[in-house]
Amino acid sequence: MGVKELIGGVLEGELGQPDLLRRVTEGITALARHSGRGLPVLPPEVEVHIKVGGGSVQVIEQFVQDPAFDREVEARVLNELVRLRPEGLPVRRYVVEAAERTSVEVREAPKRRFRLRIQGGDRDGATITLPPTRRHYLVGRGDWHGHEQHVANDVVLCESEKAISRRAARLHRAPSGLELESLDQGEALVVERADGERLRPALAASGRVPVGPGDRIEFTDGSRTVLTVLFEEA
């Protein structure tokens, strides 16, 4: 079931509330402040608390976890705050719970800090804490993100392991924590969940795979694991 079906069916039939997308959008835009130049400024991260007074909490959780839902929220916020740049959008975390009455509340959230721990390679044992103010992190071998040496890597995995590309991957901040996009590493990049599920960002429909604390990111040479990165909450 897609976003439109959920809005027209489950949300109106079970929650008995107007469009959830509209309410989330209104909650986010209400947090906007204006800089000295009159430009809108939003908090870096927000939590969207959805209390379900009737109907299935699980259905609503599936709804807000749909990437299409969050993309629609982004589009609507940018449409409402016309001078807001896309990089000024906050990271959104959704919390859904059962309650006596339905409500949607959006509040500023503390910035989550994440840490990467490298296992293997010439930087074995190194830990890297990701700056919470950044929305994207470039990952690869050596200091430079590519042979042109125009852009630096935010996360240096190793110095000399040739199976790791200089322009290996990119991490994006997302509601789940981070999303991993494979660049020149291609299919030789695997996310392993705690339950053993293995996912390749290069084969995902969106080109990205969500990663959260406890997940392992494996960099391979196509046949064996060369280096592993443990994803932790700092």
pLDDT of 55 reads 67
Instruction: For 194-227, write each residue's pLDDT tens digit.
Output: 899 999 999 998 899 999 899 999 999 989 999 9
Give the residue from 108, 131, 151 where a domain finishes. Answer: 108
Q: pLDDT band for 176, please (50, 70, 90 cuts).
A: low
Instruction: For 105-144, write each residue's pLDDT tens digit.
Output: 999 998 888 999 999 999 999 999 999 878 899 999 999 9
- Same domain (yes/no): 12, 72: yes
Both tokens of 203, joined, read 């084969």
3-state DSSP assignment of residue 197 = coil
Report how far apart, in Å, the C-alpha atoms of 179 and of each of 46, 59, 78, 160, 211 are. Answer: 17, 23, 21, 26, 6
CA 203 centroid distance within chain: 18
Q: Residue 185: which domain range?
A: 114-233
- Same domain (yes/no): 97, 159: no
Number of H helices, E strands in the chain: 4, 16
Sequence length of the chain is 234
pLDDT of 6 reads 42
- Same domain (yes/no): 99, 132: no
Q: pLDDT band for 148, please (50, 70, 90 cuts).
A: confident
pLDDT of 149 reads 85
Mean local confidence (pLDDT), 150-174? 94
Mean local confidence (pLDDT), 150-178? 91
Instruction: For 12-46, write each residue's pLDDT tens digit.
Output: 445 434 468 999 999 999 999 988 788 999 998 99
Give the residue from 78, 108, 138 where a domain finishes. Answer: 108
- Average pLDDT over the chain, rounded to an integer: 87
Highest mean pLDDT among 31-35, 85-89, 176-180: 31-35
Give the residue from 79, 108, 137 where a domain finishes. Answer: 108
pLDDT of 129 reads 95
| Residue 25 or 1, more confident | 25
